[in-house]
């Protein structure tokens, strides 16, 4: 069976070595030495100033919203994982959807200003599939209207823009370290900021408001992560460059094999260095997609409709302006298998099925 992704696991011996230290110390949580070591290693690898390891990417988003004191409208994308919108609603803010750019699939900055009202407080944009948003255009709009900016960078681990981490843009960026991600800790996430004052606030907010064992200085939540998860992250991190290289090679092979007239690929900025986390394709129609999925499933290959449906369809979100690009993309997008031990022969098999059996002879000529 070939699935859309597969969790990379380091050697059990490496992991056991770090776990032995946890057992010896008897220190499992509450900012233990492995958590501190992982945060330090990640800051160095990613080139960021402040990074806080938390229990998952969704809590990272919720903490970001809370740390910025947001209570009103947040302009956001209709094409992202559900947690992006759910975090806004969970924090009693209102998501205001703006359509996406048809090339990058990220929030279209040309449409943002039309959606700004006196109750707009922030922009929450997603680096979709690890492709950077139009960060400079968003920053200019945010400055003009005095808005805060959060980037959902769940897919953007190790992504650079203009030779620096894309995580350095905006007020806060959030990461997911879920088991399916390029870099993972089993379950986990992180909050990144360049702002010293925000960093100080996030530090106590993720720890139930504590700045010491006996002093609580503000409202917080238990978003800490454990030594067990940090140990896994420390074992995975040294392999990231190798994982990216393999994904890059498989991406190039897919690009060479798939018929370009039959599919559309989202386009990263030429100023970006991406991480090849996913291989999304846009098929000509939803009917083509359903045929593709059925044919691949019959061959024991399981891609994923990611992200589907568009977030404008969520039952707990009020209807707003239409987002025709996002609706169209969500109905036709398919992520093909891409992971660390996927073989070239398997990519060839997937491409053959799509080209010869799914898209029809008229598109294969």
Distance CA 247, CA 276 (A): 6
38 sits in which H/E element: helix 33-46
Say whether domain 239-364 belongs to CATH 3.90.1150.10. Answer: yes
Tell me the pLDDT band of 259, cut-offs 50, 70 and 90.
Answer: confident
Q: For residue 285, name the pLDDT band (cuts at 50, 70, 90).
A: very high
- Spatial contact of 20 and 12, defined as CB atoms under 8 Å apart: no
Whether 359 shows a pLDDT value over 80: the answer reads no
Residue 360, pLDDT > 80, answer no
Mean pLDDT is lowest, of 99-103, 282-286, 300-304, 354-358, for 354-358
Region 283-300 average pLDDT: 95
E strand residue ranges, 195-241: 210-212, 215-216
Could you give the angle at which helices 12-25 and 227-236 cross, rounded to 10 degrees? 150
Helix, strand counts (H, E) of the chain:
13, 16
- pTM: predicted TM-score of the whole model, two decimal places: 0.96
158 — pLDDT class (breaks 50, 70, 90): very high
Which CATH number describes the domain made up of 2-238? 3.40.640.10
Q: What's the confidence (pLDDT) of residue 24?
A: 97
Query: Would you say 315 and 220 are in contact if contact means Cβ atoms under 8 Å apart?
Result: no
How many Cβ atoms from other residues are within 10 Å of residue 182's Cβ? 24
Q: How many residues does the chain have?
A: 365
CA-CA-CA-CA torsion for 298, 299, 301, 302, nearest 10 degrees?
A: 0
9-28 confidence digits (pLDDT tens): 999 999 999 999 999 999 99
Each domain of the chain, given as residue ranges in start order, spans: 2-238, 239-364
- pLDDT tens readout for residues 40-82: 999 999 999 999 999 999 999 999 999 999 999 999 999 999 9
Q: What is the DSSP string of 123-164?
A: EEEE-GGGPPP-HHHHHHHHHHHT-EEEEE-TT-TT-EETTE
Give the mean pLDDT of 227-243: 98
How far, in Å, CA of 362 to CA of 365, rounded? Answer: 6
Rounded Cα gap, residues 197 and 278, in angstroms: 35
Neighbours of 204 (CB within 10 A): 18
């Amino acid at each position: 069976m070939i699935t859309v992704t597969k969790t990379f696991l380091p050697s059990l011996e490496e992991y056991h070595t770090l776990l032995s230290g946890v057992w010896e110390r008897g220190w499992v949580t509450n900012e233990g030495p492995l958590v501190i070591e992982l945060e330090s290693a990640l800051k160095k690898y990613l080139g960021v100033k402040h990074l806080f390891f938390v229990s998952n990417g969704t809590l990272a988003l919720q903490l970001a919203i809370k740390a910025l004191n947001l209570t009103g409208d947040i302009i956001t994308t209709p094409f992202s994982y559900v947690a992006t919108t759910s975090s806004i609603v969970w924090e009693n803010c209102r998501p205001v959807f703006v359509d996406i750019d048809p090339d990058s699939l990220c929030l279209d900055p040309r449409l943002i200003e039309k959606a700004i009202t006196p109750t707009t407080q922030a922009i929450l944009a997603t680096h979709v599939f690890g492709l950077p948003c139009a960060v400079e255009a968003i920053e200019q709009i945010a400055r003009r209207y005095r808005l805060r900016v959060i980037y959902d960078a769940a897919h953007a681990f190790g992504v650079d823009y203009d030779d620096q981490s894309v995580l350095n843009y905006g007020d806060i960026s959030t990461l997911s370290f879920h088991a399916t991600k390029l870099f993972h800790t089993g379950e986990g996430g992180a909050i990144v900021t360049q702002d010293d004052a925000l960093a100080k606030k996030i530090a106590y907010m993720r720890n139930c408001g504590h700045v010491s064992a006996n002093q609580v200085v503000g409202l917080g939540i238990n978003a800490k992560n454990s030594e067990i998860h940090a140990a896994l992250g420390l074992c995975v991190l040294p392999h990231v460059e190798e994982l990216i290289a393999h994904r890059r090679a498989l991406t190039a092979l897919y690009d060479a094999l798939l018929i370009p007239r039959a599919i559309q690929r989202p386009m990263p900025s030429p100023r970006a260095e991406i991480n090849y986390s996913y291989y999304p394709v846009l098929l000509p129609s939803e009917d083509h997609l359903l045929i593709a999925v059925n044919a691949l499933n019959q061959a024991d290959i399981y891609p994923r409709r990611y992200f589907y449906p568009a977030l404008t369809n969520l039952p707990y979100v009020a209807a707003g302006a239409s987002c025709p690009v996002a609706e169209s993309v969500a109905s036709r997008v398919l992520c093909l298998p891409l992971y660390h031990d996927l073989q070239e022969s398997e990519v060839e098999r997937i491409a053959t099925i799509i080209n010869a059996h799914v898209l029809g002879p008229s598109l294969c000529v």
